[in-house]
């Protein structure tokens, strides 16, 4: 029984923690702006992708023990909370600024994964 919980943690929850840590680490890097238009677009796409991956990992871990609808709601709430806290964290990083617009951009990635999970579950 103990091995089951260790395996479950390593396969499902550790990736969530590592990915959230990577997001936190990237948010801790001072002033990533280069001023190039392409750089702006690339950073926004990165926001969408990093929170899409986080949402998928959360859903995958939560869905092990919870019904589908509950897993969707929990994944959505936790990912949105983390997006908000990520921007709050950036307020305290030199050269960075927290921006509610970035939470909205993060939400695009979150909602894409939520919709894909819903569509896959309907089949």
- Classify residue 95 as left (phi > 0), alpha (psi -120 to 50) or beta: left
pLDDT band for position 97 (50/70/90)?
confident
- Classify residue 122 as left (phi > 0), alpha (psi -120 to 50) or beta: alpha
Please state the domain extents for the chain.
2-122
What's the number of CA atoms in the CB half-sphere (13 Å) around residue 59?
23
> Model confidence over 58-72: pLDDT tens digits?
999 999 999 999 999
pLDDT given for residue 111 in this prediction: 98
pTM as predicted: 0.91
Q: Is the pLDDT of residue 32 over 90?
A: no
How does the average pLDDT of the chain come out, rounded?
92
């Amino acid at each position: 029984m103990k091995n089951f919980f260790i395996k479950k943690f390593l396969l499902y929850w550790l990736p969530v923690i590592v990915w959230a840590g990577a997001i936190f680490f990237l948010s801790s890097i001072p002033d990533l702006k280069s001023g190039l238009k392409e750089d702006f677009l690339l950073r926004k796409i990165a926001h969408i992708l990093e929170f899409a991956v986080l949402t998928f990992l959360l859903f995958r871990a939560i869905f092990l023990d919870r019904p589908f609808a509950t897993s969707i709601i929990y994944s959505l709430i936790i990912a949105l909370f983390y997006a908000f806290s990520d921007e709050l964290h950036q307020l305290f990083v030199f050269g960075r600024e927290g921006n509610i617009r970035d939470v909205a951009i993060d939400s695009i990635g979150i909602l894409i994964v939520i919709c894909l999970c819903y569509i896959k579950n309907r089949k």
